[in-house]
Amino acid sequence: MSTSMDPAASPVPVNPATSVTRKPAPRGPGARTVAVTSGKGGVGKTFVTANLAAALAARGERVLVLDADLGLANLDVVLNLHPKLTLHDVFTEKATLEQAILPAPGGFHVLLAGSGMVEYSRLTPEVRDKLLDIVEAVRPRFDWILLDTGAGISDVVLFAVSMATQVLVVATPEPTSLTDAYATIKVLATQQDRREVGLVVNQTNRVGEGRLICGQLQQVLQRFVGPKPGQTFKLELMGEVKMDVAVRQAVLKRQLVLEHFPGSDAAQCIKALAAKLLEK
């Protein structure tokens, strides 16, 4: 990534009515809430989220993955689940929250959005309040809540991220992915006043590639975003997942790489990511 110019110099429109600029949720009692997001689709965000949940569960943690990609949810596809009840049923009061929380392969639980929930793809006050209520309701029951957000910087995505105390941005080494990851991180730093964001580089080709990419992104962020006086901004490399044929095999079979290919390079990388999260 070039450091000579800001690759995301265009201003990002802000809709004050949707509160996407709200500061991140404070760390309180109950589950640690982590938003897993990305600048663009197709970078393996949901794959990382699901396998990270399994890695945390394997360490004895109580984990809930909340599918916050309300417009184009695909967590159910990745996990090969066919839910009868989803967030839509909770939102419309056709089912209780307890009924919609399902066990998933890998020893964790999920709250699925279902696909094609177009009516929830825009952040209305109703959607905002319902999401907040759900997260607050499940916090006491779990150690971790992983919010699998949509890609990009829509109102719904930014609001979902704002509910989390920690953020993981997933990117690949491709230039378009890095540019979009930078744009996302820039918005989180400027609109949500985040001082620290975690980076997960997926599909790396060689040892150290993730660290190199993180350093490049940090350099651009320091130059063009810049912290306020007396503040610092930290982009921390939380993990990198090696390019691995086991991942493709697992995805095609709708299986967790952590369960079905536990000795693979990708599985070991996810386990390392979970260990680093637990240390923070």
Beta strands in the chain (DSSP E): 32-38, 63-68, 101-103, 109-111, 144-151, 166-171, 196-204, 234-242
pLDDT of residue 5: 42
Whether residue 3 lies inside any domain: the answer is no
- Any domain includes 19: no
- Quote the pLDDT of residue 233: 86
**Residue 12 in domain:** no
Enter the tokens of residue 234.
Answer: 């930290």
Q: What is the CATH number of the domain that holds 176?
A: 3.40.50.300
H helical segments located in 18-154: 45-58, 75-78, 87-91, 97-100, 125-138
Query: In this structure, is residue 23 part of a structural domain?
Result: no
- Report residue 54 as tokens: 């399994």
Coil, strand, or helix at residue 47?
A: helix
For residue 11, tell me if it sits in a domain: no
Which range marks the domain in which residue 94 is found?
28-279
Q: What is the pTM of this model?
A: 0.89
Query: How buried is 185 (Cβ within 10 angstroms: 0-12 exposed, 13-18 middle, 19+ buried)?
Result: buried
DSSP one-letter code for 95: S
79 belongs to a structural domain: yes
Please state the domain count of the chain.
1
Task: For the beta carbon of residue 17, count every other beta carbon within 10 angstroms.
Answer: 11
Handedness of CA 244, 245, 246, 248 (dihedral sign): positive
Tell how far CA 118 is from the center of its chain: 20
Q: What is the mean pLDDT of each run of 10 residues along the chain (280 residues)?
A: 50 40 59 96 95 98 94 84 89 92 96 72 84 94 96 92 97 96 94 94 95 94 70 90 96 95 97 96
Predicted local confidence at residue 24, as pLDDT: 58
Is residue 41 within 8 A of residue 171, CB to CB? The reply is no
Q: Is 194 part of any domain?
A: yes
β-sheet bridge partners, residue 240: 201
Q: How far is it, in rounded angstroms, from Cα 230 to Cα 62?
A: 37
Burial letters 28-64, b for 16+ CB under 10 A, else e: eeebbbbbbbbbbbebbbbbbbbbbbbbbbbeebebb
Q: Tell me how far apart the alpha carbons of residues 218 and 232 are, in angstroms, rounded to a whole number.
A: 11
